[in-house]
Amino acid sequence: MEKPVKVKRYDVETWEITDMDALRNEHCMCHHCGRMKPGEPDHCKIAQSFYEICKKHGNAFILTRCADWIEQ
């Protein structure tokens, strides 16, 4: 495992494995879902909930299972 580094995300100091960002962007289902519409009234409620957790705690998730996913 790559050694985590201290970074600031969403104004929170957190530990991060930076090499995982590319993997997360490529494989997270949210990034490839037709319901992902930040700022729009019909934006995915699940994605928004995860975003709020990430913002509050400085986390990052890779979503690999979702019953609400639709193709872009």
Give pLDDT tens digits for 46-70: 999 999 999 999 999 999 999 999 9
Domain extents in the chain: 5-57
pLDDT of residue 21: 86
Best CA proximity match to 66, nearest among 22, 37, 30: 30
Rounded distance, CA 59 to CA 70, Å?
Answer: 24
16, 57 in Cβ contact below 8 A? no
Tokens for 33, please give them. Answer: 């879902």
pLDDT band at 17 (very low <50, low <70, confident <90, very high): very high
